[in-house]
């Protein structure tokens, strides 16, 4: 997570992926911000008991130069 994304969110963002281990929150559904390249990793790590729905793309690039690190996909992860 980049400092710019955390600043724009204006709050705490829980890290659910540490040391290549996925720690799924206890809630029935939760939001997940992913870089495009990380989407397949999470789809493979989530069990078949969860659905992953892409709701929106967040791009906080403000200039002409587009940095991939400032673009995230927002997914809603829900228990089936």
Q: Which residues contact 29 (CB under 8 A, 6 or more apart)?
A: 76, 77, 78, 79
Q: What is the pLDDT of residue 8?
A: 66
pLDDT in tens, 32-67: 888 888 888 888 878 788 888 999 998 888 888 888
User: Are the CB atoms for 23 and 54 separated by under 8 Å?
Assistant: no
pLDDT in tens, 1-32: 666 766 666 667 777 777 777 788 888 888 88
Domain boundaries, the chain: 3-79
DSSP H or E segment with residue 22: strand 21-22
């Amino acid at each position: 997570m980049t400092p710019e994304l955390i600043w724009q969110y204006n709050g705490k963002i829980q890290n659910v992926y540490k040391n290549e281990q996925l720690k799924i929150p206890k809630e029935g559904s939760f939001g997940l911000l992913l870089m495009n390249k990380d989407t397949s990793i999470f789809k493979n790590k989530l069990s078949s008991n969860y659905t992953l729905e892409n709701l929106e793309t967040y791009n906080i690039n403000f200039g002409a130069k587009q940095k991939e690190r400032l673009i995230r996909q927002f997914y809603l992860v829900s228990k089936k």
